[in-house]
Structure 1
Amino acid sequence: MPLVGSTVARRQLGRHLRRLRHGAGKTEADVEEANIASRVKLWRIETGKVAVKVGDVRGLCWLYGTDAKTTDTLSMLALGTREHDWWEDYGEKWFSMRHGLEEIADELRTYNTELVHDLLQTPDYTRAICLTTHPDVTDEHARGQVKLQVERQQVFLTRIPRPRLAAVLGAGALTRPVGGPAVMADQLARLRALNRRDHIDIRVLPWDAGPHPAMRLGAFTILDFHHDDDPAVVHAETHTGARYLEKPDELAEYRRIFDLIYRKTMPIESYRA
């Protein structure tokens, strides 16, 4: 019987439930003795082999002593295990699926016309974006967001083996003065420094490249994985959520678009604002 629903949702839900079980010090036998799932069923859930019922997620979270917010979030993710493609709502979440996927992806290809990608931002750039998007937040909240961003970057940039990252930035991402001239000068210097790493390729789509195929799409990231159980996925973000696309024809189209715009780019070292 063929699998249905989002593979990325199944795999991510399984990983989170496994981490919660280990954190709670529970074994497969504990789950079976609680009459929540057999060992075989638990293995299938944690490895993303099956669609998962909300009741099973809530039962496991109860056994692990998980808080209500996390339980509700994972229950919503369980619904995605039965649907093709998956929409992640940013309203109430304790994790972003994208961050979990970045931790295991072997290659990322990303395009953004207005914003430097999160994995490439300086702390001051991140802080400026945070305060612009949410001008009423406290300094403590902004510092917390910067700290999380730095930690996320460290996880990605220090992984072994090194994941590959190809980033195409629109000229607007480098000419718009986020945080002021000094912040932008530091940001450009960081981009050039990162680009000297063998596994990172940062390119700029200049204004004189003219019209290009991604003009209607907005920002997107293609994530590829070496593990056969983790199919490639496209992450397309909006202000309130993100969509994860897994269908072969959708992936092929985004790969085609990325390849076309990449041909119009120049290395970050050659770019002059």
Structure 2
Amino acid sequence: MERQLLADEVRALRARRGYSQDELAKLIGFSQSTIKNIETAYRMPTKEQAHLLDKALDTAGVLTRWESRIRAAPISPGFRPFAAAEAEARALKWFEYSVVPGLLQTEEYARMLVEAFPGLTESEVVARVAAKLDRQAVLELEDPPWFWAVIDEHVLHRNVGGPPVMAAQLAKLVEFARRPRVCIQVLSAACPHNAMGGGFVIAEVARQSTVAYVDTVLDGQTVYDRAMVEMVGVVWESIRTKALSDNESLGLIEEGAQQWQQRIAS
């Protein structure tokens, strides 16, 4: 939401000054596509770009302060617009290639993943983990969204935090897989697919357009464009139809949990 507000503010300030996107781009020394991406919330301005925009638009540092505030928040700028859709969704369709979906992670598993991100202080780690756990409340509502998840089989065997963390994490997957509005499917490690570059989520929200989030190594992107969201949906259906059934998947997850428990005992 804040990212979209920043985009709207840049667009309004540019219009008030009477600049075209191309004219503003030349003033700050960047391309017209950079301005377009900022104004459509496709990309956050960097600290340098925010400073240059403040000078060009005579804003007394407003955009620089916005940029600092957004980047300091515990949820990444690329995901933040999607977080609002996630909280209001009637259905969530989630694919993960390398990790357990965020809404299904244990605190210990989530912390291990956050700590792996370079350059974070302890307080930043705590804030990010807390923000992720807070989001999980959506699945605890009296009327929760329908939740479909497809996870690559590698997720069950990737050692995140050691056997105790993994055993607890897979036990939580088993618990969720047995809930009435949750379906977790495993995609066999031997099955090639067209989303090996990363995970994504589709949120279907009542009385609003469907929104998608596509993960990347740096930040990720919330997608509103109807054609792009539709394509993400096509990829989702392709992956889901290749995955094991929910019952077969539950058996595989239970087997993985037992294997991690055995590693603890040994």
**TM-score bracket for the superposition, by shorter chain length:** 0.5 to 0.7
When residues 182 and 245 of structure 1 are mapped into structure 2, their CA distance, relative to the original with a 3 A threshold, is same
1:202 counterpart = 2:158: no
1:114 counterpart = 2:98: yes
Given candidates 170, 175, 196, the residue that maps to 2:157 is: 175
Worse-superposed segment, 249-258 or 92-101: 92-101
Partners in 1 of 2:37 and 2:92 — Cα distance? 23
**What's the % identity of the aligned pairs?**
24
Partners in 2 of 1:197 and 1:88 — Cα distance? 38
The aligned amino acid for 2:237 is D
Alignment partner, residue 211 of structure 1: 192
3-state DSSP of counterpart to 1:173: helix
* Cα-to-partner distance string for 1:17-44 (whole Å, 9 max, x where unaligned): 9xxxxxxxxxxxxxxxxxxxxxxxxxxx
* Per-residue deviation, 1:249: 2.5
Alignment partner, residue 92 of structure 1: 71
Given candidates 146, 165, 168, the residue that maps to 2:129 is: 146
The aligned amino acid for 1:159 is L
Alignment partner, residue 221 of structure 1: 201
Alignment partner, residue 260 of structure 1: 238
* Cα-to-partner distance string for 1:146-198 (whole Å, 9 max, x where unaligned): 322222212x1233431111111111211111000111111000011011111
Alignment partner, residue 114 of structure 2: 130
Matches within 5 A, 1:1-273: 12=1, 52-54=8-10, 82-83=39-40, 86-87=42-43, 92-94=71-73, 96-134=80-118, 137-138=121-122, 140-154=123-137, 156-208=138-190, 210-215=191-196, 217-227=197-207, 230-266=208-244, 267=246, 268-271=249-252, 272-273=255-256
Aligned residues: 202
Higher helix share: 2
2:147–2:181: 8 Å Cα contact kept in structure 1? Answer: yes
3-state DSSP of counterpart to 1:222: strand
Partners in 2 of 1:176 and 1:188 — Cα distance? 11
2:187–2:243: 8 Å Cα contact kept in structure 1? Answer: yes
Give the alignment's TM-score, normalised by structure 2.
0.65
2:38–2:45: 8 Å Cα contact kept in structure 1? Answer: no
When residues 161 and 179 of structure 1 are mapped into structure 2, their CA distance, relative to the original with a 3 A threshold, is same
The aligned amino acid for 1:152 is R
- Segments of structure 1 that go 5 or more residues without pairing to the other structure are 1-11, 18-50, 58-78
* Per-residue deviation, 1:114: 0.3
- Segments of structure 2 that go 5 or more residues without pairing to the other structure are 14-35, 47-69, 257-266
RMSD of aligned C-alpha atoms? Answer: 3.1
1:165–1:199: 8 Å Cα contact kept in structure 2? Answer: yes
The aligned amino acid for 1:87 is R
